Homo-oligomer: A and B are copies of this chain.
Amino acid sequence: MGTRLALRIQERFEDLTRSEQKLAQFLLDRPDEILGTSATELAGFAGVSKATAARLFRNLGYSDFNDVRLQAREERNRTGPVQQIPMPQVSATAATTVPVHLQVETANLIRTFEELRSDVLNQAAEQLAAAGRVWVAGLGIENGLAQYLRTLLARVRPGVHLISENASIWPEELASTGPNDALVIIAVRPWPQHISTMLNFAKTTRLKSIVITDPTNVGKAQRKGALVLNCHVSTPWSELTQTSVLSMAQLLASALINRLGQKAEIRRNLIANLAEEFEDDRDR
């Protein structure tokens, strides 16, 4: 679909005067030229006077040239619905190139978030907002991501804890949790057995649990009463990419911020200021 300006011109092209048409044609030929080019210049390119340019835009129904430019800018920013980016097919042996990487990542992100129901996200945010304490868990490589999510959440609300990777001390760590708490688990395939243990515990304690996982584990997690945030993590070769998992963590934190409103803002500024002071201290 063309821009609104282009459509408007096409409709009325015949009604325009000779020199208006000259300019109009130029605009049709190079629609992207409107951004960053002044009306005077456009007129110059088309070989007509500034006055004609002013008249043309008015005749097309705009109040101003500024009006035209604003609309063009807005339209560029709104660049229609995201188009499906297919997952590239790559022979197993070929080296990963940067463009392929980009395409894989983009495809996973798009699938993940076009599929995500915003009511599920909001429910998750609601649970995190209402919880007395929040526990974040991730095993193996997901531990780093869990730590990341923990920091993100801790900036926004108090009482966010990272569950140790050492399963043997879970009893101590989880002993004090109750139905008022929330548990966020990051776990993609291969699904660690421990996670099931943890989810079972959560279910019996009536701990609200949110699981960020990949499509193969959605069912399992849901069956244990967890709210599931599903992330696409596949690549054309055998590895996984956790980019969409991190992105989901980021979105979850954003959703919590929205949910908490002012309260989150206050805490965030407090922390930012403290951090700044620490940096300053070290400078001296």
Binding site for B on A (CB under 8 A): 32, 34-37, 69, 72-73, 76-79, 81-82, 84-89, 95-99, 101-103, 105-106, 109-110, 113-114, 116, 118, 121, 140-141, 143-152, 190, 192-194, 239, 241-243, 246-247, 250-251, 254-255, 257-258, 275-276, 279, 282-283
Q: Which B residues lie within 8 Å of A279 (CB)?
A: 190, 192-193
Give the complex CA separation of A103 and B80 in angstroms.
11
Give the complex CA separation of A6 and B169 in angstroms.
50
Given contacts A36-B36, A144-B147, A144-B151, contact A193 B98 (CB under 8 A): no
**Taking the nearest CB of chain B, how far is it from the CB of A113, in angstroms?**
4
- Which DSSP category, helix, strand, loop or mixed, fits chain A's interface? helix
Copies in the complex: 2
Give the complex CA separation of A225 and B101 in angstroms.
27
Q: Are A113 and B99 in contact (CB under 8 A)?
A: yes
**Taking the nearest CB of chain B, how far is it from the CB of A181, in angstroms?**
22
Q: Which B residues lie within 8 Å of A82 (CB)?
A: 85, 99, 102-103, 106
Given contacts A144-B146, A147-B143, contact A89 B110 (CB under 8 A): no
Give the complex CA separation of A243 and B239 in angstroms.
18
Our pick among B84, B106, B254 for the contact of A101 (Cβ within 8 Å) is B254
Our pick among B73, B239, B243, B250 for the contact of A247 (Cβ within 8 Å) is B243
- 12 CB < 8 A contacts A-B: A36-B36, A101-B250, A102-B113, A105-B247, A141-B151, A143-B147, A144-B144, A144-B150, A193-B283, A242-B246, A243-B247, A246-B246
